[in-house]
């Protein structure tokens, strides 16, 4: 990787529904805080994220969101076409070869995805993580920080949830030390020998 001047890119997906994650909070003694959640409708924000690192360059976070409102014919999540679009955008922005590391999700192993990867073999090399190893993927740390930031949030609808999610992820994009910390938390050594 280092000899090729390639970017090491980790990828993962997550999702957030209108139901907020619970967290501890402060309240006056004897008054239990109550978070009111709307019971209207179905909504989900699907996320795909990339942490891109290369020696001598600042670590970058890239992401895409898909809104799902529960309507007929709606895309239910990230598929090969959406992954290919994300990887093409990353290649255009990073301007170099990419060594992609992701998990063994069935969508990553599909025939359509293998076809997309083969078509990009001039600049894309793919490696699979072991069967269940979230601790080796720094994007998992991004999702953890995001979920903590969404704790006790009661959005009105999917659009408001998506706006909050995008705002929090954009703020993370400018915190390069935080992104480096996510990568360091994996225990992987990225420095050249």
pLDDT at 11 over 80: yes
Contact 79, 33 (CB under 8 A): no
In a domain, 24, yes or no: no
Residue, of 179 and 156, whose pLDDT is higher = 179
In a domain, 35, yes or no: no
Place of tokens 């894309």: 124
- Prediction pTM value: 0.84
Number of structural domains, the chain?
Answer: 1
What CATH number does the domain containing 172 carry? 3.30.420.10
Q: Are strands 98-102 and 124-128 parallel, antiparallel or unpaired?
A: parallel
What pLDDT is recorded for position 38?
59
Query: Domain range spanning residue 154?
Result: 7-18+41-184
In a domain, 29, yes or no: no
DSSP class of residue 110? S
* Pairwise CA distance, residues 57 & 165, whole Å: 26
Residue, of 146 and 73, whose pLDDT is higher = 146
Contact 36, 126 (CB under 8 A): no
* Pairwise CA distance, residues 100 & 91, whole Å: 11
* Pairwise CA distance, residues 74 & 70, whole Å: 7
In a domain, 34, yes or no: no
In a domain, 142, yes or no: yes
What angle separates helix 138-149 from helix 158-173, to the nearest 10 degrees? 130
Residue, of 15 and 88, whose pLDDT is higher = 88
In a domain, 1, yes or no: no
Average pLDDT value over all residues in the chain = 84
In a domain, 26, yes or no: no
In a domain, 23, yes or no: no
């Amino acid at each position: 990787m280092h000899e090729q001047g390639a970017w090491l890119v980790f990828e993962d997906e997550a999702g957030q529904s209108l139901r907020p994650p619970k967290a501890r909070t402060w309240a006056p003694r004897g008054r239990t805080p109550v978070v009111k959640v709307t019971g209207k409708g179905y909504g989900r924000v699907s996320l795909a994220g990339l942490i891109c690192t290369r020696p001598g360059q600042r670590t970058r976070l890239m992401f895409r969101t898909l809104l799902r409102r529960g309507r007929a014919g709606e895309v239910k999540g990230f598929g090969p076409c959406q992954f290919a679009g994300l990887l093409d955008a990353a290649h255009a922005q990073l301007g170099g070869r990419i060594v992609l590391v992701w998990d063994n999700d069935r969508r990553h192993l599909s025939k359509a995805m293998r076809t997309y990867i083969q078509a990009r073999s001039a600049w894309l090399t793919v490696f699979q993580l072991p069967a269940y190893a979230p601790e080796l993927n720094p994007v998992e740390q991004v999702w953890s920080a995001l979920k903590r930031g969404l704790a006790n949030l009661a959005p009105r609808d999917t659009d408001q949830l998506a706006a909050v999610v995008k705002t929090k992820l954009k703020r993370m994009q400018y915190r390069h030390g935080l992104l480096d910390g996510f990568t360091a938390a994996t225990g992987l050594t990225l420095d050249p020998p």
